Structure 1
């Protein structure tokens, strides 16, 4: 059975290919969907939220090329 919730900066960042030392920055500035209950304790995140976030990051990085192939520019 897959976990319902990932726990800890290491596990969460491993799932999305990021540095766990940047966890607070990723959540605060980049929108990584993770939280701490009552603002303290270990970080938690839902796998499906992390997948959606990673896909959004990919799309932002690659722009229109994602999923549609390269556009024909006529060159």
Structure 2
């Protein structure tokens, strides 16, 4: 059954490499696809939603490093 849904801030955040203490901020500010039923109980998330979110994070931020590497190579 754990393949269907991750449960709890610790399990969810471990899956995406984040600190469980920050789950509320990640959901609210960064769009982490996790929820609480009726705003109570444990956090829940679907693995496929977390995979999509982590890929979006990668795509959004990877250009910062690619651009920086190209700029540093041009200066050398």
TM-score normalized by the length of structure 1: 0.81
Matched residue, 1:4: 4
CA distance in 1 between counterparts of 2:39 and 2:2 reads 26
CA distance in 1 between counterparts of 2:35 and 2:63 reads 28
Aligned residues: 68
Gaps in structure 2 of 5+ consecutive residues: none
Q: C-alpha deviations, 1:7-42, integer Å up to 9, x for none?
A: 000000000000000000000000000000001100
Match runs of 1:1-75 below 5 Å: 3-63=3-63
CA distance in 2 between counterparts of 1:25 and 1:52 reads 18
Following TM superposition, by how much is the alpha carbon of 1:51 offset from its aligned partner in structure 2, in angstroms?
0.2
Runs of 4+ with >2 A deviation: none
Query: CA RMSD for the aligned pairs?
Result: 2.1
Following TM superposition, by how much is the alpha carbon of 1:2 offset from its aligned partner in structure 2, in angstroms?
5.6
TM-score normalized by the length of structure 2: 0.80
